[in-house]
Amino acid sequence: EIWKKASDAWSKKHYISLYNRDDFLELCCVIFSSQVALSDGEFKDVEREYLGNVEGLKNFEGLTLPSTEPSIKILCQLINKKYKLHDKLDLINTLFAMAEADRIIRNEEVELIKEISDLLKIPNSEFEGIKNKSAANIADMKAQEAAIIEQETIDEEFSDIDFEEDD
What value does the mean pLDDT of the chain take?
A: 87
Tens-digit pLDDT profile for residues 29-51: 999 999 998 898 888 888 888 78
The CA distance from 124 to 146, in Å, is 33
- Residue 79 has what pLDDT? 98
> What pLDDT, on the 0 to 100 scale, is given for residue 166?
58
**Stretch among 23-27, 45-49, 148-152 having the lowest mean pLDDT:** 148-152
State the Cα angle at 30 between 124 and 52, rounded to 5°.
125
User: pLDDT at position 58, please?
Assistant: 81
CA distance 116 to 32: 8
User: Cβ atoms within 10 A of the Cβ of 29, count?
Assistant: 21
Give me the helices (H) in the chain, please.
12-19, 24-38, 45-53, 72-82, 85-100, 107-119, 124-157
Residue 142 has a pLDDT of 65
If DSSP codes are grouped into helix, strand and coil, which group holds residue 15? helix
| Calpha distance 162→165 (Å, rounded) | 9
pLDDT at 26: 93
pLDDT for 134 equals 83
Which residues does 151 contact at the CB level (< 8 Å), separation at least 6? none
Of 96, 47, 154, which Cα lies nearest the Cα of 146?
Answer: 154
pLDDT of residue 85: 97
CA distance 23 to 119: 20
| Identity at 92, one-letter amino acid code | I
Examine the pLDDT at 167 and tell me if it is beyond 60. no
Q: How far apart are CA 125 and CA 130, in angstroms?
A: 9
